[in-house]
Amino acid sequence: MNIKRTYLLLLVGLFATGGTFAAEDLPDGVEQILPRGGIPAIFEPVFVPAAKASIPDDAWVFGVVVEGEAKAYSLNLLNHHEIVNDRSGSTAFAAVW
C-alpha cells in the first residue's frame, strides 16, 4: 500500500472511530502522537477592526470572505489551534491551517 493511501485510510479511520486507534490497529510505521482533541479548536472567535489588531503589519494571515464578510485569522494563532469554527451570517465554516 502506498504512503498516501495509508494516510488517507488513517484519516478516514480517525473520523470513523471518533479519533483514536488502538496501537495494534495503526498501519506499520504510523504513530499517533496526539489524541483527538489534543490541539484545541477555537469555537467562538472574537474579531477587532484591522487598525486595532495586535498583529504586526508583516505578519501572515489566513483570510476568507463568506457571505460578503471578510475575516482574517492570524497564522501565529492558528499554529497553536489549527481550526477555527466560525460563522458568517447563516453559513458555518471551519478555517483550517
Three-class HEC string of 10-63: HHHHHHHHCCCCCHHHCCCCCCCCCCCCCCCCECCCCCCCHHHCCCCCCCCEEE
pLDDT in tens, the chain (97 residues): 455 444 444 444 444 445 555 666 777 777 777 776 778 889 999 999 888 888 888 889 989 999 999 999 988 888 888 889 999 999 999 988 8
